[in-house]
Amino acid sequence: MKHPSTLSIQEFTYELPDERIARYPLAERDASRLLVYRKGEISESVYRNLAAALPPESMLVFNNTRVVEARLLFQKETGGIIEIFCLEPGDQYADITSAMLQKGKVYWKCLVGGAKKWKEGPLRMEIQPTAVHSDPLVIEAGKVSQHNDYFIIELSWNNAAMSFAELLHAAGSIPLPPYLNRKTEAADKERYQTIYAAQDGSVAAPTAGLHFTPHVFETLQQKNIHRAFVTLHVGAGTFKPVKASTMGEHEMHAEFIEVSAALVRQLILQHEQGIIAVGTTSLRTLESLYWLGAKVIATPDIPAAALQLQQWEPYEQPEQDIPATTALQALLQWIEQQPLQQLITKTQIIIAPGYRFRIISGLITNFHQPQSTLLLIVAAITGNDWKRIYRYAMENDFRFLSYGDGCLLWV
Protein backbone atom coordinates (compact mmCIF):
# COMPACT_ATOMS: atom_id res chain seq x y z
CA MET A 1 0.00 0.00 0.00
CA LYS A 2 1.40 3.38 -1.03
CA HIS A 3 2.01 5.66 1.96
CA PRO A 4 0.12 8.94 1.51
CA SER A 5 2.16 10.92 4.05
CA THR A 6 4.19 12.43 1.18
CA LEU A 7 1.08 13.83 -0.55
CA SER A 8 0.68 17.59 -0.74
CA ILE A 9 -2.83 18.94 -0.14
CA GLN A 10 -2.06 21.53 -2.85
CA GLU A 11 -2.63 18.73 -5.37
CA PHE A 12 -6.25 18.47 -4.23
CA THR A 13 -7.64 21.88 -4.94
CA TYR A 14 -10.16 23.41 -7.33
CA GLU A 15 -11.85 26.79 -7.76
CA LEU A 16 -15.06 26.99 -5.68
CA PRO A 17 -16.90 30.27 -6.34
CA ASP A 18 -18.83 31.55 -3.35
CA GLU A 19 -22.12 31.45 -5.27
CA ARG A 20 -21.79 27.68 -5.78
CA ILE A 21 -21.99 26.99 -2.02
CA ALA A 22 -25.54 26.00 -1.09
CA ARG A 23 -26.45 28.33 1.79
CA TYR A 24 -29.85 26.68 2.31
CA PRO A 25 -31.27 23.21 1.59
CA LEU A 26 -33.83 22.58 -1.13
CA ALA A 27 -37.49 22.57 -0.09
CA GLU A 28 -37.58 18.77 -0.53
CA ARG A 29 -34.65 16.72 0.76
CA ASP A 30 -34.73 14.05 -1.94
CA ALA A 31 -34.97 16.56 -4.82
CA SER A 32 -31.21 17.11 -4.58
CA ARG A 33 -29.26 15.99 -7.63
CA LEU A 34 -27.03 12.93 -7.64
CA LEU A 35 -23.92 12.53 -9.80
CA VAL A 36 -23.15 8.84 -10.39
CA TYR A 37 -19.56 7.76 -11.14
CA ARG A 38 -18.79 4.18 -12.17
CA LYS A 39 -15.77 2.83 -14.04
CA GLY A 40 -14.86 6.21 -15.42
CA GLU A 41 -18.41 7.04 -16.59
CA ILE A 42 -20.43 9.96 -15.20
CA SER A 43 -24.23 10.09 -15.24
CA GLU A 44 -26.92 12.05 -13.41
CA SER A 45 -29.92 11.22 -11.26
CA VAL A 46 -31.70 12.58 -8.17
CA TYR A 47 -31.80 11.15 -4.66
CA ARG A 48 -35.49 10.35 -5.08
CA ASN A 49 -34.43 7.74 -7.69
CA LEU A 50 -31.41 6.41 -5.78
CA ALA A 51 -32.75 2.85 -5.67
CA ALA A 52 -32.44 2.60 -9.46
CA ALA A 53 -28.68 3.20 -9.19
CA LEU A 54 -28.08 0.44 -6.62
CA PRO A 55 -28.02 -3.35 -7.09
CA PRO A 56 -30.66 -5.49 -5.33
CA GLU A 57 -29.54 -7.09 -2.03
CA SER A 58 -26.80 -4.50 -1.50
CA MET A 59 -26.66 -2.63 1.80
CA LEU A 60 -26.46 1.04 2.71
CA VAL A 61 -24.75 1.92 6.00
CA PHE A 62 -25.81 5.19 7.65
CA ASN A 63 -24.36 7.21 10.51
CA ASN A 64 -27.17 7.75 13.03
CA THR A 65 -25.39 10.38 15.10
CA ARG A 66 -27.44 13.42 16.08
CA VAL A 67 -26.14 16.98 15.96
CA VAL A 68 -26.29 18.58 19.39
CA GLU A 69 -26.93 22.26 20.08
CA ALA A 70 -23.26 22.75 20.87
CA ARG A 71 -23.08 26.58 20.83
CA LEU A 72 -23.75 28.28 24.18
CA LEU A 73 -23.81 32.10 24.32
CA PHE A 74 -23.05 33.72 27.68
CA GLN A 75 -23.53 37.46 28.18
CA LYS A 76 -21.12 39.23 30.50
CA GLU A 77 -22.33 41.91 32.93
CA THR A 78 -20.73 44.46 30.63
CA GLY A 79 -22.90 43.22 27.77
CA GLY A 80 -20.19 41.40 25.82
CA ILE A 81 -20.90 37.91 24.46
CA ILE A 82 -18.68 34.90 25.15
CA GLU A 83 -19.42 31.89 22.93
CA ILE A 84 -18.63 28.42 24.22
CA PHE A 85 -18.55 25.75 21.52
CA CYS A 86 -18.70 22.28 23.08
CA LEU A 87 -16.40 19.99 21.08
CA GLU A 88 -16.19 16.69 22.97
CA PRO A 89 -16.19 15.32 26.53
CA GLY A 90 -13.25 15.56 28.88
CA ASP A 91 -10.96 12.54 29.00
CA GLN A 92 -12.53 11.26 32.25
CA TYR A 93 -15.58 9.98 30.33
CA ALA A 94 -15.44 6.63 28.56
CA ASP A 95 -17.58 7.76 25.63
CA ILE A 96 -19.82 10.56 24.41
CA THR A 97 -23.08 8.83 25.31
CA SER A 98 -22.24 8.51 29.01
CA ALA A 99 -20.92 12.08 29.06
CA MET A 100 -24.14 13.37 27.50
CA LEU A 101 -26.12 11.67 30.29
CA GLN A 102 -24.21 13.45 33.09
CA LYS A 103 -26.45 15.47 35.42
CA GLY A 104 -25.71 18.66 37.30
CA LYS A 105 -22.13 19.11 36.11
CA VAL A 106 -19.86 18.08 33.25
CA TYR A 107 -16.33 18.76 31.97
CA TRP A 108 -16.06 19.47 28.24
CA LYS A 109 -13.40 20.37 25.70
CA CYS A 110 -14.53 23.66 24.19
CA LEU A 111 -13.58 26.46 21.86
CA VAL A 112 -14.14 29.87 23.44
CA GLY A 113 -15.08 32.81 21.23
CA GLY A 114 -13.97 36.04 22.89
CA ALA A 115 -11.70 34.22 25.35
CA LYS A 116 -9.58 37.35 25.88
CA LYS A 117 -12.62 39.18 27.24
CA TRP A 118 -13.19 36.44 29.81
CA LYS A 119 -10.93 37.50 32.66
CA GLU A 120 -11.77 35.68 35.92
CA GLY A 121 -14.73 33.96 37.54
CA PRO A 122 -17.55 31.89 36.03
CA LEU A 123 -19.93 32.95 33.27
CA ARG A 124 -23.65 32.73 34.05
CA MET A 125 -26.75 32.25 31.92
CA GLU A 126 -30.40 32.09 32.98
CA ILE A 127 -33.10 30.49 30.82
CA GLN A 128 -36.68 31.32 31.70
CA PRO A 129 -39.17 28.52 32.56
CA THR A 130 -40.63 26.45 29.71
CA ALA A 131 -42.82 23.37 29.40
CA VAL A 132 -39.64 21.29 29.78
CA HIS A 133 -38.28 23.02 32.91
CA SER A 134 -40.75 24.77 35.22
CA ASP A 135 -38.13 26.82 37.12
CA PRO A 136 -35.51 29.20 35.73
CA LEU A 137 -32.55 27.21 34.42
CA VAL A 138 -29.25 28.65 35.63
CA ILE A 139 -26.06 27.56 33.86
CA GLU A 140 -22.52 28.42 34.90
CA ALA A 141 -19.28 27.97 32.96
CA GLY A 142 -15.85 28.01 34.57
CA LYS A 143 -12.40 27.69 32.99
CA VAL A 144 -10.49 24.66 34.28
CA SER A 145 -7.45 24.65 31.97
CA GLN A 146 -6.23 25.92 28.62
CA HIS A 147 -4.63 23.73 25.93
CA ASN A 148 -3.29 24.33 22.41
CA ASP A 149 -6.57 23.88 20.59
CA TYR A 150 -9.21 24.04 23.29
CA PHE A 151 -10.19 24.88 26.88
CA ILE A 152 -11.47 22.45 29.49
CA ILE A 153 -14.69 24.06 30.74
CA GLU A 154 -16.71 23.01 33.78
CA LEU A 155 -20.39 23.46 33.01
CA SER A 156 -22.86 23.20 35.88
CA TRP A 157 -26.60 23.76 36.15
CA ASN A 158 -29.25 23.94 38.84
CA ASN A 159 -31.63 21.22 37.61
CA ALA A 160 -30.30 17.96 39.05
CA ALA A 161 -32.71 15.86 36.96
CA MET A 162 -31.58 17.35 33.64
CA SER A 163 -28.91 15.60 31.54
CA PHE A 164 -26.25 17.54 29.65
CA ALA A 165 -27.93 16.58 26.36
CA GLU A 166 -31.19 18.07 27.62
CA LEU A 167 -29.35 21.16 28.80
CA LEU A 168 -27.87 21.76 25.33
CA HIS A 169 -31.29 21.24 23.79
CA ALA A 170 -32.75 23.87 26.12
CA ALA A 171 -29.98 26.47 26.01
CA GLY A 172 -27.77 25.87 22.96
CA SER A 173 -28.00 26.36 19.20
CA ILE A 174 -27.10 24.13 16.24
CA PRO A 175 -23.58 24.86 14.97
CA LEU A 176 -23.74 25.36 11.21
CA PRO A 177 -20.50 24.87 9.25
CA PRO A 178 -18.44 28.09 9.15
CA TYR A 179 -18.40 28.14 5.33
CA LEU A 180 -22.17 28.75 5.22
CA ASN A 181 -21.32 32.18 6.59
CA ARG A 182 -24.73 32.82 8.13
CA LYS A 183 -26.48 32.58 11.46
CA THR A 184 -28.47 29.51 12.44
CA GLU A 185 -32.18 29.88 11.65
CA ALA A 186 -35.19 28.06 13.07
CA ALA A 187 -35.45 25.74 10.03
CA ASP A 188 -31.88 24.51 10.51
CA LYS A 189 -32.87 22.73 13.71
CA GLU A 190 -34.73 20.18 11.57
CA ARG A 191 -32.93 20.40 8.21
CA TYR A 192 -29.36 20.16 9.54
CA GLN A 193 -30.30 16.78 10.98
CA THR A 194 -30.95 13.45 9.25
CA ILE A 195 -34.43 11.96 9.63
CA TYR A 196 -32.87 8.90 11.34
CA ALA A 197 -30.60 10.78 13.79
CA ALA A 198 -30.69 8.94 17.13
CA GLN A 199 -27.46 9.23 19.16
CA ASP A 200 -26.58 12.67 20.60
CA GLY A 201 -22.98 13.71 20.13
CA SER A 202 -22.02 15.40 16.84
CA VAL A 203 -21.14 19.04 16.28
CA ALA A 204 -21.60 18.61 12.51
CA ALA A 205 -24.15 16.63 10.53
CA PRO A 206 -23.23 13.57 8.45
CA THR A 207 -24.48 15.58 5.49
CA ALA A 208 -24.76 12.80 2.90
CA GLY A 209 -27.72 11.54 4.92
CA LEU A 210 -29.61 14.85 4.76
CA HIS A 211 -31.07 13.84 1.37
CA PHE A 212 -32.87 10.71 2.63
CA THR A 213 -36.63 10.67 3.15
CA PRO A 214 -39.28 8.06 4.05
CA HIS A 215 -40.03 7.82 0.31
CA VAL A 216 -36.40 7.00 -0.51
CA PHE A 217 -36.32 4.37 2.24
CA GLU A 218 -39.54 2.86 0.88
CA THR A 219 -38.13 2.55 -2.66
CA LEU A 220 -34.93 0.99 -1.31
CA GLN A 221 -36.96 -1.58 0.62
CA GLN A 222 -39.02 -2.43 -2.46
CA LYS A 223 -35.78 -3.36 -4.23
CA ASN A 224 -34.50 -5.44 -1.27
CA ILE A 225 -31.70 -2.96 -0.57
CA HIS A 226 -30.84 -3.35 3.09
CA ARG A 227 -29.83 -0.67 5.56
CA ALA A 228 -27.79 -0.63 8.73
CA PHE A 229 -26.54 2.00 11.16
CA VAL A 230 -23.26 2.88 12.79
CA THR A 231 -22.52 5.81 15.09
CA LEU A 232 -19.57 8.11 14.54
CA HIS A 233 -19.83 11.41 16.39
CA VAL A 234 -18.56 14.08 14.01
CA GLY A 235 -16.17 16.52 15.64
CA ALA A 236 -15.23 20.06 14.63
CA GLY A 237 -12.02 18.56 13.25
CA THR A 238 -13.96 17.63 10.11
CA PHE A 239 -13.62 21.33 9.15
CA LYS A 240 -9.97 21.57 10.23
CA PRO A 241 -7.95 22.94 7.30
CA VAL A 242 -4.81 21.15 6.21
CA LYS A 243 -2.03 23.70 6.69
CA ALA A 244 0.93 21.32 6.49
CA SER A 245 3.05 21.12 3.34
CA THR A 246 2.64 17.32 3.29
CA MET A 247 -0.02 15.07 4.84
CA GLY A 248 2.63 13.50 7.05
CA GLU A 249 2.71 16.74 9.05
CA HIS A 250 -1.08 16.93 9.42
CA GLU A 251 -2.69 15.47 12.52
CA MET A 252 -5.97 13.86 11.57
CA HIS A 253 -8.84 14.40 14.01
CA ALA A 254 -9.97 11.40 16.09
CA GLU A 255 -13.66 10.66 16.45
CA PHE A 256 -15.74 8.37 18.68
CA ILE A 257 -17.38 5.36 17.04
CA GLU A 258 -20.00 2.99 18.42
CA VAL A 259 -20.71 -0.31 16.67
CA SER A 260 -22.85 -3.24 17.79
CA ALA A 261 -22.13 -6.92 17.36
CA ALA A 262 -25.34 -7.12 15.31
CA LEU A 263 -23.97 -4.62 12.80
CA VAL A 264 -20.73 -6.57 12.34
CA ARG A 265 -22.78 -9.73 11.72
CA GLN A 266 -24.71 -7.84 9.01
CA LEU A 267 -21.48 -6.71 7.38
CA ILE A 268 -20.17 -10.28 7.26
CA LEU A 269 -23.40 -11.49 5.62
CA GLN A 270 -23.62 -8.59 3.16
CA HIS A 271 -20.01 -8.22 2.11
CA GLU A 272 -20.35 -10.18 -1.13
CA GLN A 273 -23.53 -8.30 -2.15
CA GLY A 274 -21.92 -4.88 -1.77
CA ILE A 275 -21.76 -2.34 1.05
CA ILE A 276 -22.28 1.34 0.28
CA ALA A 277 -21.29 3.91 2.88
CA VAL A 278 -23.64 6.87 3.22
CA GLY A 279 -21.17 9.64 4.01
CA THR A 280 -17.47 9.84 4.72
CA THR A 281 -18.09 9.27 8.44
CA SER A 282 -19.79 5.93 7.75
CA LEU A 283 -16.93 5.03 5.39
CA ARG A 284 -14.33 5.92 8.01
CA THR A 285 -16.13 3.75 10.55
CA LEU A 286 -16.52 0.76 8.23
CA GLU A 287 -12.93 0.76 7.03
CA SER A 288 -11.74 1.21 10.63
CA LEU A 289 -13.56 -2.00 11.56
CA TYR A 290 -11.36 -3.97 9.18
CA TRP A 291 -8.15 -2.69 10.78
CA LEU A 292 -9.50 -3.14 14.30
CA GLY A 293 -10.27 -6.74 13.34
CA ALA A 294 -6.69 -7.12 12.07
CA LYS A 295 -5.43 -5.87 15.45
CA VAL A 296 -7.57 -8.46 17.24
CA ILE A 297 -6.12 -11.20 15.01
CA ALA A 298 -2.61 -10.06 15.94
CA THR A 299 -3.48 -9.72 19.67
CA PRO A 300 -6.62 -11.77 20.50
CA ASP A 301 -6.71 -10.64 24.15
CA ILE A 302 -6.19 -6.94 23.36
CA PRO A 303 -7.86 -4.79 26.05
CA ALA A 304 -10.62 -2.38 25.08
CA ALA A 305 -8.48 0.66 25.94
CA ALA A 306 -5.86 -0.43 23.39
CA LEU A 307 -8.27 -1.24 20.57
CA GLN A 308 -8.09 2.14 18.84
CA LEU A 309 -6.85 3.20 15.42
CA GLN A 310 -4.14 5.80 14.79
CA GLN A 311 -4.10 7.73 11.53
CA TRP A 312 -1.26 5.93 9.72
CA GLU A 313 -1.75 2.39 11.06
CA PRO A 314 -3.32 0.95 7.89
CA TYR A 315 -0.29 2.06 5.87
CA GLU A 316 2.28 0.70 8.31
CA GLN A 317 1.01 -2.84 8.81
CA PRO A 318 3.21 -5.73 7.61
CA GLU A 319 2.23 -6.86 4.12
CA GLN A 320 -0.60 -9.29 4.66
CA ASP A 321 -3.92 -9.76 2.97
CA ILE A 322 -6.47 -10.72 5.60
CA PRO A 323 -9.87 -11.23 3.91
CA ALA A 324 -12.45 -8.68 5.01
CA THR A 325 -14.80 -11.31 6.42
CA THR A 326 -11.95 -12.90 8.42
CA ALA A 327 -11.08 -9.55 10.03
CA LEU A 328 -14.75 -8.83 10.75
CA GLN A 329 -15.27 -12.31 12.22
CA ALA A 330 -12.34 -11.79 14.60
CA LEU A 331 -13.72 -8.40 15.64
CA LEU A 332 -17.19 -9.88 16.11
CA GLN A 333 -15.86 -12.56 18.47
CA TRP A 334 -14.03 -9.86 20.46
CA ILE A 335 -17.17 -7.68 20.70
CA GLU A 336 -19.30 -10.64 21.78
CA GLN A 337 -17.03 -11.04 24.79
CA GLN A 338 -17.77 -7.45 25.92
CA PRO A 339 -20.50 -6.86 28.53
CA LEU A 340 -22.74 -4.85 26.15
CA GLN A 341 -21.72 -6.66 22.94
CA GLN A 342 -20.69 -3.27 21.62
CA LEU A 343 -17.49 -1.61 20.44
CA ILE A 344 -16.93 1.97 21.64
CA THR A 345 -13.60 3.41 20.61
CA LYS A 346 -11.85 6.19 18.68
CA THR A 347 -10.59 6.18 15.13
CA GLN A 348 -8.05 8.58 13.67
CA ILE A 349 -7.79 6.80 10.32
CA ILE A 350 -6.91 8.95 7.31
CA ILE A 351 -8.07 7.67 3.94
CA ALA A 352 -6.17 9.09 0.98
CA PRO A 353 -4.93 8.03 -2.46
CA GLY A 354 -2.95 4.82 -2.03
CA TYR A 355 -5.53 3.31 0.33
CA ARG A 356 -7.12 -0.01 -0.71
CA PHE A 357 -10.72 -0.35 0.41
CA ARG A 358 -11.54 -3.53 2.34
CA ILE A 359 -15.21 -3.16 3.34
CA ILE A 360 -17.04 -0.70 1.12
CA SER A 361 -17.80 -0.96 -2.59
CA GLY A 362 -19.30 2.51 -2.94
CA LEU A 363 -19.77 5.89 -1.26
CA ILE A 364 -22.64 8.38 -1.26
CA THR A 365 -21.34 11.81 -0.31
CA ASN A 366 -21.71 15.55 -0.89
CA PHE A 367 -19.23 17.76 -2.78
CA HIS A 368 -16.42 18.79 -0.44
CA GLN A 369 -14.20 21.79 0.13
CA PRO A 370 -10.94 22.20 -1.80
CA GLN A 371 -7.82 21.02 0.06
CA SER A 372 -9.81 19.00 2.62
CA THR A 373 -9.25 15.52 4.00
CA LEU A 374 -12.77 14.68 2.75
CA LEU A 375 -11.67 15.40 -0.81
CA LEU A 376 -8.76 12.99 -0.23
CA ILE A 377 -11.35 10.24 0.39
CA VAL A 378 -13.01 11.01 -2.94
CA ALA A 379 -9.59 10.84 -4.65
CA ALA A 380 -8.83 7.54 -2.89
CA ILE A 381 -11.92 6.06 -4.59
CA THR A 382 -11.74 7.69 -8.00
CA GLY A 383 -8.04 8.44 -8.50
CA ASN A 384 -7.33 11.47 -10.69
CA ASP A 385 -10.90 11.27 -11.98
CA TRP A 386 -11.92 13.32 -8.94
CA LYS A 387 -10.90 16.39 -10.98
CA ARG A 388 -13.15 15.36 -13.86
CA ILE A 389 -16.04 14.65 -11.48
CA TYR A 390 -15.76 18.03 -9.78
CA ARG A 391 -15.30 19.84 -13.10
CA TYR A 392 -18.47 18.16 -14.39
CA ALA A 393 -20.36 19.16 -11.22
CA MET A 394 -19.15 22.74 -11.54
CA GLU A 395 -19.99 23.02 -15.26
CA ASN A 396 -23.46 21.48 -14.74
CA ASP A 397 -24.57 23.69 -11.84
CA PHE A 398 -24.45 21.17 -9.01
CA ARG A 399 -24.74 22.73 -5.55
CA PHE A 400 -21.73 22.29 -3.23
CA LEU A 401 -21.01 21.50 0.45
CA SER A 402 -23.33 20.60 3.35
CA TYR A 403 -26.69 21.73 1.98
CA GLY A 404 -25.77 20.95 -1.63
CA ASP A 405 -26.15 18.03 -4.03
CA GLY A 406 -24.23 14.76 -3.85
CA CYS A 407 -22.64 11.89 -5.70
CA LEU A 408 -22.55 8.09 -5.74
CA LEU A 409 -18.99 6.89 -6.30
CA TRP A 410 -18.24 3.23 -7.00
CA VAL A 411 -14.86 1.83 -5.98
Contact 127, 171 (CB under 8 A): yes
Residue spans of alpha helices (H) in 299-323: 313-316
**131: pLDDT strictly greater than 80:** no
DSSP string, 231-261: EE---GGGG----SSSGGG--PPPEEEEEEH
At residue 251, the pLDDT reads 86
Inter-CA distances, 41 with 35, 44, 215, 275, Å:
10, 10, 27, 20
Residues of the chain with CATH 3.40.1780.10: 4-66+191-410
Contact 104, 111 (CB under 8 A): no
At residue 238, the pLDDT reads 66
Instruction: Give the three-class secondary structure for 116.
Output: helix
pLDDT in tens, 184-216: 999 999 999 999 999 999 999 999 999 999 999
At residue 243, the pLDDT reads 82
What stretches of 296-361 adopt beta strand conformation (E)?
342-347
**144: pLDDT strictly greater than 70:** yes
**129: pLDDT strictly greater than 90:** no
At residue 132, the pLDDT reads 62
Identify the helix (H) or strand (E) that includes residue 285. helix 280-298
Overall size of the chain counted in residues: 411
pLDDT in tens, 358-411: 999 999 999 999 999 999 999 999 999 999 999 999 999 999 999 999 999 999
- pLDDT, average across residues 288-307: 95
In the sheet that holds 105-113, the strands lie side by side as: 71-75, 81-89, 105-113, 151-157, 137-146, 123-127
b/e sequence 310-331, b meaning 16+ C-beta within 10 Å: ebbbbbeeeeeebebbebbbbb
What confidence category does residue 254 fall into, taking pLDDT thresholds of 50, 70 and 90? confident
pLDDT in tens, 49-97: 999 999 999 999 999 999 999 999 998 877 788 999 999 999 999 889 8
What confidence category does residue 133 fall into, taking pLDDT thresholds of 50, 70 and 90? low
At residue 2, the pLDDT reads 66
- pLDDT, average across residues 314-329: 89
Backbone angles phi, psi at 213, to 5 degrees: -135, 165
Choose among 70, 102, 75, 80: nearest CA to 189.
70
Q: Which residue would you say has higher pLDDT here, 194 or 129?
A: 194
d(CA 273, CA 59): 8
Inter-CA distances, 79 with 13, 76, 83, 157, Å:
42, 5, 13, 22
At residue 340, the pLDDT reads 86
> Among residues of the chain, what percentage have pLDDT more than 90?
80
Global pTM reads 0.92
Among 194-208, 224-238, 254-268, 269-283, the range scoring the smallest mean pLDDT is: 224-238
What fold is seen in the domain 4-66+191-410? QueA-like (3.40.1780)
DSSP string, 118-166: --SS-EEEEE---SS-SS-EEEEEEEEEE-SS-EEEEEEES-TT-BHHH
Among 215-219, 263-267, 305-309, 317-321, the range scoring the smallest mean pLDDT is: 317-321
